[in-house]
Each structure stands twice: as C-alpha cells, then as structure tokens.
Structure 1
C-alpha cells in the first residue's frame, strides 16, 4: 500500500509541475503600476511618416507606447498584435476615443526599421530613438516594454515582455483606461 501511495504522490507532483510549467510558459509579461512619485515624461515625437505626436494632441486618448527593436525576438512576436490594435484600437465603449499605438524603436537606423516594417506589413506609427534618450527617460531596460498612458496624459502601467495586445487581457486593461476621465484630477486616485 505504501508503494501505491508513493506512486500516487509522484504522479501528483509531476502533474503539478507540468501545470506550473504550462502556466509559466504563458506568463510572458509583467505588468506593474507606473510609480506615483515618477513624473510622466513629456511626449513630443515625430514618427517615420512625419506625423507629430504631442501630449496635448493625445489628450483624452489612451496611448500604448511600445519600446522595441528588430533584433528582439519577443518584440517581433508581439508586433502583429500591436498592428491589430493599431487597426482596431477601440476595445471600450463605442463613445470612447480609440487607443493610439506608438512604437519606439531603440538604437537602429531608419533603413533597418523601414525594411523590417515593410517585411512584416506593419504601418503603425514608429518613432526612432537612435541614442536611447527616450528609452532612458521612460526608464526602459528590457525589450519589449510598453507604457500605458491614460486619457489624462499620465503613465499608468508598465508592461515588460511580450503580450497579445489584441487578446482579452490587454483589451480589458485598455477598456479600463478608456473609462478614466481625461482630467488631471484622476492622477490623485
């Protein structure tokens, strides 16, 4: 009987390890609140298409600011879902202003980024950060990192790692952000 008990216990442990391994394999991101004590850096960006993006122009919109590089495997995996979000940016109520996706490419040449974008059929706005200045301002150390900015212009969340931005988890986060007021009073909540 003791032998059967040990076998059962061993099988149970193996099953638990298998389940844990599966859940860890799918836990590819870490979402943390933006530190309240850390100011949101000013947004004043020009993308590869010549579009100028400022904090004032983005007021009232949720912004998905994604830091990435063409050599980064998880960044490449995440790009199709960011493109899908760019094409269908309104996961919230029909009266909500759609989210804006802006990619920040880190330390690569315009030609490298354009080739990558063309090969992957991507047309979301991408800003170049050739010296890594924006990356430092936003405290990014790992790629991909995405900063979610509320309609009040305040950074709310930092997501490190790749995520399906078109999936239910990310869409729920964006919907929650879209429900926030576009006034700075929400920053005190």
Structure 2
C-alpha cells in the first residue's frame, strides 16, 4: 500500500471515529434531555378545579359494600380499570407494590373495575396477587360521575374529599416521586 492510500485510509478511519463519537454524544444528550420530560409525564396532573369526589356504594370482591365517604380524612387513590385493558394490566403489579408501601401510611387505594364479569376479575386478582380493594362497577354508573376519559384513569382524593390529582394512562405507581406527590396531600 502506497503512502497516498495509507493517508486516505487513515483519514476515512478518523472520519468514521469522529462520526461515531458524534452520533453517540447526540444520543446521550437526547436521552438526558428527554429524561425530565418522561419523568414529568409519569407524575400526576392537578385537576383544574378540585371538586368533591362523587360518593358511591360498590361491592368489593368479598361482597362487602364500600363507599368512598367511609374514608373521609384520608388520601384515597381511586383507579378505574378493566381486565381487557393492556395498560391497566401493565400497571397492576406496580400498584400492588405501591399498596404495600402506602397502606402502612394510612393511604387508601380503591381499584374500580368497570363492567365485566366478577369471576373473571377475581381470577385476574388472584393471578396478579392483588390484595388491595377491588370494587365492581358492573353497570358503569360510577365511572360516568368521575372525570374519566379513558382507561386506566386514576384520581387522587384529598383528606377533605376533593378530587385534586389525576393520571390518565398507566404509571409506575411505586415510583418515589409519584408516591411523594401523593404523600404531600397528607401534610
């Protein structure tokens, strides 16, 4: 190989190294820039104007009647979901992990299943080791009274009984920043 070809080869290698390095740097910067946006998307949004949470009386999987008014004075996480909803299924394990944490802090979690067969919901709860309260809104009466535009939707009710925060879509419910946002309502 003559000197001219060696110089051309070295120039090409140098260019490729620079290009690869530039692409990698751009990818790293993009990921760093997106991280705050993704984290913010995972937090809860304040409701424009907090309103009193509509009361309900729904059966849980044991057949007992549960009312949200029974929990006045506590923060209540109200999650609307369905077994046929893939994002709902995705977030259930993180909800269970969150429940294991917040139940010790006096925070209540109510998962309201919309429509559907109670036997299927019971099997789902067993398959996913769900031990937080699951309520049945078989006729979809309750969901119509709440600010739900899609599943899953979660509404956080403050100790005064007002709907103050919401999440449309799935979340990682055991995320520290998200849990801190909920805990702040207890102060």
1:124 alignment counterpart? 132
C-alpha separation between the residues in 2 aligned to 1:25 and 1:156? 22
- Of 135-144 and 8-17, deviating more is 8-17
C-alpha separation between the residues in 2 aligned to 1:163 and 1:17? 22
Task: Give TM-score scaled by structure 1 length.
Answer: 0.75
C-alpha separation between the residues in 1 aligned to 2:43 and 2:149? 13
- Which of 86, 97, 102 does residue 99 from structure 2 map onto? 86
User: Map of 1:149-168 to 2, 5 A cutoff?
Assistant: 149-168=157-176
Q: What is the Cα deviation at residue 173 of structure 1?
A: 1.3
Would the aligned equivalents of 1:34 and 1:155 in 2 still touch at CA under 8 Å?
yes
The alignment covers a number of residue pairs equal to 173
Q: What is the Cα deviation at residue 5 of structure 1?
A: 9.4
- Which of 58, 67, 75 does residue 45 from structure 1 map onto? 58
Would the aligned equivalents of 2:44 and 2:178 in 1 still touch at CA under 8 Å?
no
- Of 108-117 and 125-134, deviating more is 125-134
C-alpha separation between the residues in 2 aligned to 1:69 and 1:63? 19
2:6 alignment counterpart? none
- Of 32-41 and 61-70, deviating more is 32-41
**Runs (5+) with no aligned partner, structure 2:** 1-16
**Runs (5+) with no aligned partner, structure 1:** 93-97, 180-189
Task: Give TM-score scaled by structure 2 length.
Answer: 0.75
Change (3 A) 1:168 1:160: same
Cα root mean square deviation, aligned: 3.1
- Of 56-65 and 42-51, deviating more is 42-51
Q: Which has the larger radius of gyration?
A: 2
**Residues 130-189 of structure 1: CA deviation (Å, up to 9, x unaligned):** 23222221121222111000011111101112222222022201210111xxxxxxxxxx
Query: Could you say which structure has the higher helix fraction?
Result: 2
Q: What is the Cα deviation at residue 23 of structure 1?
A: 6.4
Q: What is the Cα deviation at residue 63 of structure 1?
A: 0.4
1:106 alignment counterpart? 114
